[in-house]
Amino acid sequence: MIGDSSGADHVLHYSSSDEFSDIHITGLLSLGCNIHFKDCFATSKFSAMTSGDDEQILHTIREFGDGIFLLSDWLFLHSYLVTAFSKFGNQIDPIRQYASDIIAPFRNGSLEQFTEWYKTCIRRIPHVRFVVDSDGYPALDMLMQQHLESNILGNQFHEDTIVRVPCSHMKLGQTEWVLKQTLDFMKLLDTKVG
């Protein structure tokens, strides 16, 4: 099972839910999931938008570009935004609700949601890998510090289950990075299963 960005959060939610505990999953690859509220950059902005308010929506869209310094990342982000807003226009209630649902477990600012997902997935799924992009390094550093201090990831934590990649969150979602991470994970599965 593979999920990218907010899709990774969905994969983790379903994989750790009691409702789906009887489904056998051999491997789980999470690309750029949220670890902390600070990781919820885009979803927190979408969740605050107001349907029908063109001025506010455009102001928020402009904010998305702040802090992007690579043309490739800017183009990737804006192609995503064009696709989303071409479908919904300024009636963005579905996007706002989806974003609000994604960030809800992180609003308290703790690492609890991620650690719960992590421990449940590690317990249920034989092969798990969380890929963290450079935008997620601060939250990952905070997570690892707390794990060293209080074992918040549990006794089953293993270093190869969480890996850092030297690319931005935007780049991690691009086809070549998704394919590379997927193929690397498949090779890992082949060596462990085969």
Per-residue pLDDT of the chain (194 residues; tens, 9 = 90+): 899 988 899 899 888 888 888 888 999 999 999 999 989 988 999 999 999 999 999 999 898 888 788 888 888 888 889 998 999 999 999 999 999 999 999 999 899 999 999 999 999 999 999 999 999 999 999 999 999 999 999 999 999 999 999 988 888 888 888 999 999 999 988 877 65
The model carries a pTM of: 0.86
Q: Is 60 domain-assigned?
A: no
SS3 111: coil
Q: Is 63 domain-assigned?
A: no
Q: Is 92 domain-assigned?
A: no
Number of domains in the chain: 1
Domain boundaries, position 117: 2-38+110-193
Angle, CA of 72, 75 and 76, to the nearest 5°: 85
